[in-house]
Amino acid sequence: MKYPIFAAGALFATMAVAETPVLTVYAPDYFASEWGPGPKMEELFEAECGCDLQFRTGDLMPRLLLEGDKTDADVVIGLNTDVTKKARESGLFAPHGQDNASLTLPISWSDEVFLPFNYSHVAFIYDTTRVENPPASFDELLNAPDDLKIVIQDPRSSISGQALMLWVKAVYGDKSGEAWAKLSPKILTVTKGWSESYGLFTDGEADMVLSYTTSPAYHIIAEGDETKKAAIFPEGHYLFVELAGKISGTDQPELADQFMAFVVSEAFQNMIPTGNWSLPAKLADDKLPEGFAKLNMPETVLFFDEEQAAALRDAAVEEWRAALSQ
């Protein structure tokens, strides 16, 4: 007599699913927090999908790799180019199915698996009231007096720190070790993540902070403060792209596809500039909010693809560590 009970239970379960299907989205903590783009995204997507979008946050890749093909995720948002190789090799991801050609990234994008939703460039941000003559190039930064203090992030724990390391590699190549040695006396401290660095900068501890070209937009738009600026270097700036991906084993394939389309839809892309203080991956420049016109933007964009980056990474980290440990 157990069978009918079981069947009834299964029936209820399918009914519940039929009412509101759940799309489980893995995202970094900042993304889904009250002050990140997550809540607005949830609202916009739920309005069009008739589903329940649920965020799961935490360390994205470690969690995905631990869970393997038993993961609860249907889609993942907030990956970055440093982890795509590892993510791709895990075999967990399916093609995104969107048109790469229509993206408005400053580089051409051909990845069929990971779909960009916003980008920025790493840059050093300064405060015009404290630094009157910011370095006009990377070389000038390296040769600046040692009392110009910068804070950077650790490439072993932070994605922006990793981007800086690759930026130095892209500009200085084999001479990167010497570049780091020159930069070393100007480095006030190296923090675990971006937040700690940025806090030290706004507290006046450091003159410049490693952040993004889009960081001043927050101060301009949310605070009406135009004193924070990105120092633009003619050598070029390393590109920082955030990505979404579809889990191949998802039990909600249609919803997941709908989500991938949503990520590059105008509704979501319009929200990116002031929602994630970043540049949309698929939006015409004239649709950006007014404050973004005041941002300094680089002419040259530097970028290693995941194979190049992976080949450089371990040696570059050791080079960085050795130079800064002197």
Provide the 3-class DSSP secondary structure of residue 280.
Answer: strand
Share in percent of the chain as helix, strand, coil (round to 5): 45, 20, 35
Separation between Cα atoms, residue 148 and residue 150, nearest integer Å: 7
206 binds other proteins (CB under 8 A): yes
- Least distance to other proteins, CB of residue 110, Å: 26
Separation between Cα atoms, residue 1 and residue 203, nearest integer Å: 69
- Least distance to other proteins, CB of residue 205, Å: 5
Q: Which two tokens stand for residue 204?
A: 């006046």
Q: CB–CB of 222/104 below 8 Å?
A: no
For other proteins, the binding residues in 208-227 under the rule CB under 8 A are: 215, 218-219, 222
Choice from 48, 52, 59, 305 touching other proteins (CB under 8 A): 59
Consecutive H or E run containing 262: helix 253-263
Choice from 4, 62, 145, 224 touching other proteins (CB under 8 A): 62
Considering beta carbons, is residue 109 or 180 the nearer one to other proteins? 180
Q: Angle of helix 306-324 relative to helix 176-183, nearest 10 degrees?
A: 50
Choice from 74, 111, 127, 154 touching other proteins (CB under 8 A): 154
Provide the 3-class DSSP secondary structure of residue 67.
Answer: helix
Choice from 63, 100, 249, 306 touching other proteins (CB under 8 A): 63
Stretch that binds other proteins, among 32-40, 231-239, 240-248, 302-310 (CB under 8 A): 32-40
Considering beta carbons, is residue 190 or 288 the nearer one to other proteins? 190
Separation between Cα atoms, residue 199 and residue 103, nearest integer Å: 33
- Backbone angles phi and psi of 233, in degrees to 5: -110, 130
249 binds other proteins (CB under 8 A): no
By the criterion CB under 8 A, which residues form the site for other proteins? 27, 29-30, 32-36, 38, 55-59, 61-63, 65-67, 70, 86, 149, 154, 156-157, 162, 184, 187-196, 198-200, 202-206, 215, 218-219, 222, 277, 318, 320-321, 324-325
